[in-house]
Chains A and B, each alone.
Chain A
Amino acid sequence: MDLSIITYAVPFLLVGAKTTLLIALFGVGLGLPFGILVATARTSQVATIRRCADFYCAVFRGTPMLVQIFVIYYGLAQIGFIRHNAILWWLIGDSLHAAVLAVILNTGAYTAEIFRTALLSLPRGLIEAAEACGMSPWVIFQRIKFPLALRQALPSYSTEVAVIVKESSLASTITVLEITGYAKRLMSETFAIMEIFVITAVFYLVINVACLTALNVIERRLSFEPRYAR
């Protein structure tokens, strides 16, 4: 492999990595609470709320992320009301903002699915015991359901984080220059396709391994088993 290509490509890809990390950070930071919210809505007693949340999840899990990002960035911009509303236009008028919004909505649906199964797997007796103690629904959620569900869901959620990092590459289709966007540009500039691919792959693998390690640490912190068992 030609060394000059590495020194040429890496600075560009580092700039791109910043954008990728930014999108992924928002995807996790806002997508996780949003997904948990949707998951609680899906396990709600009220049929209307449950059905709305189910519908949202089915739609976002059943369509490609590329379509979602295009509907948000190109499609919604067509509606006059959104164009004239300052806040909404700030949200989707800029390609980076639209990409972040798409990632949050997309990961929210998958996260909701993960947390729904976690919430449903909780032992019924625990919640009944909490109710018998006179805890309010909010306290039950905060003290009983959420901590237990979080521990259940974390292993699957770490795969979802890796998916977020990969899905953020679709932002390059709406002109956001993140890692994949720069990689495409470098490929058509230098014609060193394989070299650029390998360097870019290393970037993604490093980010993914870092995320997975971080989540592994959290998982171990939250697990029940005493430390010496490991």
Chain B
Amino acid sequence: MLNDIWVLMVEKGWTLALLRGAGVTILIGVLGVVIGLASAIPLAILRWRRLPVLSQLVDAYSIVIRGVPGLLVIYLLFFGSVDWVQKIASAFGYADSAENAYPFIVGIIAIAAISCAYSVEVIRGALQAVPVGLLEAARSLSLSPRLTFFRVTLPLALRLALGGINNVWQMTIKDTSLVSVVGMQELMRTAAVAAGITRSPLLFYCLAAAMFFAMTAVSQILFNRAEKYFNRGFSRR
């Protein structure tokens, strides 16, 4: 039994494949959260300012994405874009490279779109939680609206949003596994391929679970530290 595992993992090189898959998973997760967060901040500001039509549109986007399974969003983006991506790529003569890079790019877009919908809610909540008194104080010092936003509102809101961002990140790293169903070579897909070839699904899926668990556990520890750092001077009272 142990000997079999040794042969599979080391001599056949599956450990390396799984680690590479885990690297891709982390890359997709980080890119997805960063892009999602970067696009969520302006959207959350639209919602926060209650701009007439735009804020309703953002609201609708956020409700639909959060109310629908991630798998469905991924199917929409993959099947919905496969046609015109092929057309554009072949028009420019990059048909082959588009075929290779395509799952990766659309996968990141899908993950970012999902995490963005959740981030919008988190950041809007944080923006609303910034005490009004501080904003009034900033205005009484005749800070310009721009300066008030970047020096007062945003830093305070990001501190308040940290817990929510942690939740979004934990969810996103787990959601990356969904991209495997459309053929992205990340951890889950690698495990599935390995399980198929070696006919030992139990071993490889458990290993994939352990790797995902390690990722979420380590990031939880890092976030706890970050929270402590950003809350310095706040929690003592």
Contacts and interface: CB of A to CB of B under 8 A. Distances in A.
Contacts of A169: 69-72
A102 B146 CA distance: 50
Contact of A205 (B64, B80, B180, B191): B64
A173 B177 CA distance: 12
Contacts of A172: 71
Chain A, interface SS category: helix
A210 to B, nearest CB: 12
Choose among A61, A62, A68, A184 the residue with the greatest number of B CB atoms under 10 Å from its CB. A62
A67 B212 contact: yes
B76 interface: yes
Contacts of B48: none
Contacts of A58: 213, 217
Nearest to A187: B79
Interface residues of A, number: 39
A215 interface: no
How many of chain B's residues touch chain A, expressed as a range? 20 to 34
A173 B176 CA distance: 15
A79 interface: yes
A123 B21 CA distance: 47
Nearest to A165: B69
A141 interface: no
Contacts of B213: 58-59, 62-63
Interface in A37-67: 58-59, 61-67
Contacts of B216: 61-63
Interface string A178-202: 0010011001100001100100110
A134 B228 CA distance: 43
Nearest to A72: B205
9 contacts: A64-B178, A65-B174, A66-B178, A67-B188, A67-B205, A70-B192, A75-B201, A75-B202, A169-B70
